[in-house]
Amino acid sequence: MDTVDASPIVAAVEAGSCADRAGLTVGDAVLSVNGVAPRDIIEWQRLVDEPLLGLVVDRGGMSIDMEIRRIPGEPFGATVTSAVFDRIHTCDNHCEFCFIYQLPKGMRRSLYTKDDDYRLSFLYGNFTTLTRFTEADLERVVDERLSPLYVSIHSAEPRRRAEMLRNDRGGTSLRWLRQLLDHGIDAHAQVVLCPGVNDGPVLDATLHGLLETFPELLSVAVVPLGLSRHNTEARMRVHTAEEAADAVALIEQWQERYRRLLGRTVVHAADELYLRAGLPLPASERYGEFEMLEDGIGIARSFIDAFRGERSDLRHHDGGFFGSVDATAYVRTVNPAAETSLRHRSTPVSISRREPRRVRSLAVVTGELGASVLGPLVSDLAGGAVEVIGVRNDYFGGNTAVAGLLTFEDVSRALEGRPSDVLHLIPDVCLNGDRFLDGHTVGDLSALHSIEVVPTSGTALRARIQQFLGGLS
């Protein structure tokens, strides 16, 4: 599903459905439903849920009227290609930590689009600052119960927040969060932590302010900023190990206070902060139902537990293990559109891979952060029979050490000169379809190296390694 089309474009029609019976076909543009031009997929789903439908369809420049009668409870039966049909509400903040400004040139144009759209927040978990939110938006969210939403906080102090967003409305837009909560709309919050800017006493005041002003929040994720080598902001830098440890200590203090006062765990530090600090990851119990995986909260712990067989994978988590850079563009890994940021979900890949005639060795390819967790797990399971390769990300640079941002360029460089009888397992999370972020395909890589694309899950990786080990015995 793309992010934007001018009208709903039919991508698939279920055989025997009411859409099929009416003659709707792939490629049709639905101009209106019962006289209303749908603005987005939310409105589309509501409109096509009526028992009697009058559609105006554009088919190759020809306007066609269709009358459709639905059997009560029958799905409409047509899938469309996009989520938004009018226009994405683009972001008019200019955050100095924004990852979009740090992208290298030459990537596909859609990756440079910043959104601040409450609809994408509801649909895909994209974070919104609410600086473009209006009374009309509030009315729609409340009337249609578009819940939960995901809100970027960064600082609870108005002046500091406006400074970080580089937008005066940032100092007042959290009033909308208060109104949303008052109307029963659930919300998750995120704080992008920038060393020397909103950590230390500022973070302490933020977590205090959120507890005091917005105690209804379902969660507060504190995540480190993402930096690439293309960053031009003088104040932005990567956390030191000591700074990461200090942040974790402060967050855990507030985590306990929230739990004591509210009776539930609300505040969490991102996995990356623990790993950069060299601290042990929290136990599974600390994460509850692991509701914040897409924010980089608990991904490592859930992966470890699944790999060890202590629990099944909680869900088929499309972002996978360290599949995203925390807070790069307010788009979480569940976004199937994948057109407003670098955070994309993986899709099944079929390749004609070049394998050695006899596999004598197996290697798991991942990002440097993933390797720090995978290394001990694989060693315990396979000894020296399986290698873990942590690929340095030179394409983006900075602290982009996650598997989801691996490119053909970096993976190919890391595998250069390796023996031809080694099969390399590539995580599917670094692919969008069959393409890496730098535009190269899986086929390009398989022409050079022996590879196999595997699901990025603890259970699946363990099973593949055990399959290999079984073949050696």
pLDDT of residue 254: 98
pLDDT of residue 5: 64
pLDDT of residue 340: 28
The structure tokens 């967050």 sit at 251
On the question of a common fold for 2-84 and 100-270, the answer reads no
Q: What is the 3-state secondary structure (H, E, C) of 199-231?
A: CHHHHHHHHHHHHHHCCCCCEEEEEECCCCCCC
Compute CA distances 182 → 153, 175, 178, 187, 416, whole Å: 18, 11, 6, 11, 57
Q: What is the CA radius of gyration of the chain?
A: 24
pLDDT tens track, the chain, 473 positions: 555 568 899 999 999 999 999 999 999 999 999 999 999 999 999 999 999 999 999 999 999 999 999 888 899 999 998 899 988 899 999 999 999 999 888 787 778 889 999 999 999 999 999 999 999 999 999 999 999 999 999 999 999 999 999 999 999 999 999 999 999 999 999 999 999 999 999 999 999 999 999 999 999 999 999 999 999 999 999 999 999 999 999 999 999 999 999 999 999 999 999 999 999 999 999 998 888 888 899 999 999 999 999 877 665 433 322 233 222 222 333 332 222 233 333 344 444 445 545 678 999 999 999 999 999 999 999 999 999 999 999 999 888 888 889 999 999 999 999 998 999 999 999 998 899 989 899 999 999 999 999 998 999 999 999 999 988 64
Nearest CA to 360 out of 448, 447, 445, 450 is that of 450
CA distance 85 to 102: 28
CA distance 352 to 343: 26
Choose the CATH number for 100-270 among 3.80.30.10, 2.60.300.12, 3.40.50.1000, 1.10.645.10.
3.80.30.10
- State both tokens at 356: 């050695």
Domain boundaries, the chain: 2-84, 100-270, 361-472
Question: For residue 228, what are the contacts with CB-CB under 8 A and spacing of at least 6?
Answer: 99, 102, 103, 104, 396, 397, 398, 400
CA distance 323 to 403: 6
Given a contact cutoff of 8 angstroms between Cβ atoms, the answer to whether 46 and 36 are in contact is no
Q: Which amino acid is at 83?
A: A
CA distance 28 to 455: 34
CA distance 220 to 214: 11
Fold of the CATH domain 2-84: Pdz3 Domain (2.30.42)
Given a contact cutoff of 8 angstroms between Cβ atoms, the answer to whether 49 and 56 are in contact is no
- State both tokens at 101: 């400004």
Given a contact cutoff of 8 angstroms between Cβ atoms, the answer to whether 322 and 301 are in contact is no
pLDDT of residue 87: 86
Question: For residue 139, what are the contacts with CB-CB under 8 A and spacing of at least 6?
Answer: none
The structure tokens 């972002």 sit at 319
Given a contact cutoff of 8 angstroms between Cβ atoms, the answer to whether 102 and 231 are in contact is yes
Given a contact cutoff of 8 angstroms between Cβ atoms, the answer to whether 166 and 94 are in contact is yes
What's phi and psi for 58, nearest 5 deg?
-100, 120
pLDDT of residue 335: 31
Q: What is the 3-state secondary structure (H, E, C) of the chain?
A: CEEECCCCEEEEECCCCHHHHHCCCCCCEEEEECCECCCEHHHHHHHCCCCEEEEEEEECCEEEEEEEECCCCCCCCEEECEEECCCCCECCCCCCCCCHHHCCCCCCHHHHCCECCHHHHHHHCCCECCCCCCHHHHHHHHHHCCCCEEEECCCCCHHHHHHHHCCHHHHCCHHHHHHHHHCCCCEEEEEEECCCCCCHHHHHHHHHHHHHHCCCCCEEEEEECCCCCCCCCCCCCCCCHHHHHHHHHHHHHHHHHHHHHHCCCCEEECHHHHHHHCCCCCCHHHHCCCCCHHHCCCHHHHHHHHHCCCCCCCCCCCCCCCCCCCCCCCCCCCCCCCCCCCCCCCCCCCCCCCCCCCCCEEEEEEEHHHHHHHHHHHHHHHCCCEEEEEECCCCCCCCCCCHHHCCHHHHHHHHCCCCCCEEEEEEHHHCECCECCCCCEHHHHHCCCCEEEECCCHHHHHHHHHHHHHHHC
CA distance 170 to 155: 10
pLDDT of residue 315: 52
Given a contact cutoff of 8 angstroms between Cβ atoms, the answer to whether 330 and 126 are in contact is yes
Question: For residue 154, what are the contacts with CB-CB under 8 A and spacing of at least 6?
Answer: 95, 161, 164, 165, 191, 192, 198, 206
